[in-house]
Structure formats: structure tokens, C-alpha cells
Amino acid sequence: MAEDGGAALAGAPAESAAAREAAYRWLSGLLARPPDAGMLAIYGGAEGAAVLDALAVEPSLAPAAEALAARTRAQDRAAAALTLAGAFERLFSGQAGPRTASPYASVHTSARGLTHQAAMTEAARDLAAMEVHVAGLAEPPDHIAVLLAAMAELVRRNATAAAQAEFLDRHLLGWIGAFAEDCRAFDRDGLYAAVATATADYLRADHRRLTRDAR
């Protein structure tokens, strides 16, 4: 379960650095690509189920963990994976026109709703300044999966609570609500609506914790 940091999650309190890093990596992974049949099988096994149970200790993540667990119980996991892949493509690729949920900050924060706008430039600049490089994601730096992975990296590096809260303020909190709302409106399967809602709720809860700790 390296993709979601699950090994570091066992027994960790929900507010610990290990649990927070794992949560950010898990959310990033789910919003970067759909789980294939092999990943559904892993989540359906003992280790994967333990990871989902550990994630669900955090109230904001519980609905998404439960939604993913439900997909692992499908009799035909290959068919379930194809369904999720189709839902992912329709929702996030832009092929469905206005009935999509753009994963790019630029679309939600620019006047014309376009990609590759100021939010992308600002994210690239801040990631470079912090020397944060997100490997394995061939997406612009304002993609939600990249930004969540960057937050995981900040947690791993023990960045100050103030620095982490500022990153959330600058790059995610201003548009995550609109993204989650679009996912709830247009996701035909329901998993990504649950994941996006969990992401929005988790970011807000984590920001509250960080601002409390920064005082």
C-alpha cells in the first residue's frame, strides 16, 4: 500500500504527522487516477481493509473510505474498475463539456475558467521555492492531486503548522468547495463525489488544526 502511505498509518492517531501524510497521499492517489482491478483487490484484502479502517477514524474521511470499500466487494472487480475508469474520465477529462469537475485550480479561480492561468504559475513558483517535487504525476502543478501530494510532502518534512496552513490557503481552500460541488453534481458512480467531499472536509478540518497549532 505504498501509494497511500498505509503502512505508516497503522495505530497512528488521526492528527499525527504519519496519519496526516497518509491521508493526503491517499486522497491524491484517488484523484490522480482511478483504481484498477488489482488495487481494488488489495483494498479488499486484510491489509487494504486495515488501511481503510484507519483512514475512517478521521470523520471527514470515513464516507470516502466506506465508498471505496463498497467497490472492493464487487463480484467482478475488473468490471468495477472499468466503471470507475469511465466515471473518472467523464468527470475529470473535460470530455463531457460543462458537466465535468475540473481538477485544476486555474479553472476555478480564473475569470474565464481556463487552464494554465495564474493559479498554475503561483503553484509552480511556490513548489520550486519550497523545493517540493511531486514524482509520478504528469499534470500541471495546480492539479488537485499534485497539490495534495505537495501537502503530504510538507507534512513529511515537518514544515511548520503556519507554512502548511498558508499552502492550503494559497492553493486549495479557495476552490475545493466548488470542485466538490461539481463532483457531487456530475459523478455518475458516486465514488469521486464521496472522495471530493471528503477532501474538502478534510482540508478544512486540517486547516483548523494547523491554525490552532500555529498560535
Bridge partner list, 104: 143
* Residue whose cell numbers read 463532483: 183
Mean pLDDT of 118-132: 95
pLDDT band at 96 (very low <50, low <70, confident <90, very high): confident
Q: Flag whether pLDDT at 106 surpasses 50.
A: yes
Give the chain's domains with CATH numbers.
Answer: 2-213 (1.10.3480.10)
Contacts of residue 10, Cβ cutoff 8 Å, sequence gap at least 6: 50, 54
% of residues, the chain, pLDDT over 70: 93
Q: Flag whether pLDDT at 49 surpasses 70.
A: yes
What's the pTM?
Answer: 0.94
Mean pLDDT of 10-30: 88
Average pLDDT of the residues of the chain: 93
Mean pLDDT of 83-111: 95
Q: With contact defined as beta carbons under 8 Å apart, do 50 and 10 qualify?
A: yes
Q: Give pLDDT tens digits for 50-73.
A: 999 999 999 999 999 999 999 999
Predicted confidence at residue 11, as pLDDT, reads 56
CA–CA gap between residue 199 and residue 2 (Å, rounded): 20
- Exposed e or buried b per residue across 151-177, where buried means at least 16 C-beta atoms within 10 angstroms of its C-beta: bbbbbbeebeeeebbbbbeebbeebbb
